Amino acid sequence: MLLIAVILYIAIAFALQTVRVDGSSMVGTLQNQDLLLASKISYDFGGNPARGDIVILIPPLDPSQDFIKRVIGLPGDVLKIDGDHNPTRVLIKPGGKGAFQVLNEPYLPEPWTTLKYCCAPNGIATLTAPQALTIPAGEYFVMGDNRNFSSDSRVFGLVPRKNILAKAILRIWPLDHFGGLGAGPTIDPLPSSALAIPALGIAALEAWRWRRRRMRNPVAARSAPPAPNPLD
């Protein structure tokens, strides 16, 4: 029995680890000082990080510490962050194919107003305009859910696969928030612009009708009669 217990302990220690969240970059999903359980073997048997996974990683610019972020872009994706749209949105061509689609992220805690244009070829945010990035093989684009307060791929660039250490799977503390980490993002088609043309046509038609009615009955078109002259 003692031998079995030791083997189980070693197996669990090898497969799982506890992770303490330090900071507010994942607020919306995780809070500062949350204690998580992470799987160290989720990606060791042929699997790779999936879009939406919350992962523990080594940031490329600071190997002395671990970060916790959400996987947004996968190898082969074409990714663009459009800060000209309100709210800011992530556009993705999954696997680099087809038209851009919108990443739907209901877990974001507030409107996103910083580092909202992306990406340079290394994944770092640009200053004034969205640029499409094709993510190379073996690289991942990650962001914190609290976009206005997160140091992530927009700051340190793409993350190599070897730098992704584990997948967060369960919150174990505080007890009143014990459980899973919520649903990840979905990908939705961009709204069609086909409806814009009929809408413009209807607006032009209504404007033409209004001008025609005004020409036929100019008195009725006034919003109010002219004010009397106080000197009369």
Coil, helix or strand at residue 79 = strand
In a domain, 197, yes or no: no
In a domain, 57, yes or no: yes
209 pLDDT more than 70: no
Supply the mean pLDDT for the chain.
85
In a domain, 200, yes or no: no
Torsion of CA 135, 140, 143, 145, to 10 degrees: 110
CB atoms within 10 A of CB 203: 10
Q: Kindly state the tokens that stand for 173.
A: 């503390």
What pLDDT, in 10s, does the model give residues 112-129?
A: 999 999 999 999 999 888
CA distance 174 to 158: 32
Res 225: pLDDT: 40
Taking residues 15-21, what's their average pLDDT?
93
175 — phi, psi (to 5°)?
-60, -30
pLDDT level of residue 217 (50, 70, 90 thresholds): low
Q: Kindly state the tokens that stand for 169.
A: 């799977």
What pLDDT, in 10s, does the model give residues 132-175?
A: 999 999 999 999 999 999 999 999 999 999 999 999 999 999 99
Q: Which of 56, 24, 51, 23 is nearest to 37 (CA)?
A: 56
What pLDDT, in 10s, does the model give residues 29-72?
A: 999 999 999 999 999 887 899 999 999 999 998 889 999 999 99
pLDDT level of residue 207 (50, 70, 90 thresholds): low
Question: What residues make up the domain containing 141?
Answer: 2-189
In a domain, 40, yes or no: yes
Burial grade of 188 (CB within 10 A; 0-12, 13-18, 19 or more): exposed
Radius of gyration of the chain (CA): 27
In a domain, 226, yes or no: no
Q: How many domains does the chain have?
A: 1
Contact call for residues 158 and 86 (beta carbons, < 8 A) = no
In a domain, 130, yes or no: yes
For residue 46, how many C-alpha atoms fall within 13 Å in the half-sphere facing its CB? 0
Res 9: pLDDT: 74
Contact call for residues 173 and 34 (beta carbons, < 8 A) = yes
- What ranges in 148-195 are assigned the alpha helix state H? 153-156
pLDDT level of residue 206 (50, 70, 90 thresholds): low
Q: Kindly state the tokens that stand for 205.
A: 């038609």
In a domain, 212, yes or no: no
Residues 6+ apart with CB under 8 A from 119: 79, 80, 81, 125, 126, 131, 132, 133, 141, 153, 154
For residue 68, how many C-alpha atoms fall within 13 Å in the half-sphere facing its CB? 28
Res 214: pLDDT: 55
The CATH number given to whatever domain includes residue 14 is 2.10.109.10
pLDDT level of residue 231 (50, 70, 90 thresholds): very low
What pLDDT, in 10s, does the model give residues 172-191?
A: 999 999 999 999 999 999 87
Active site residues: 25, 69
pLDDT level of residue 200 (50, 70, 90 thresholds): very low
Residue 5 Rama label (left phi>0; alpha psi -120 to 50; beta): alpha
CA distance 72 to 150: 14
In a domain, 195, yes or no: no
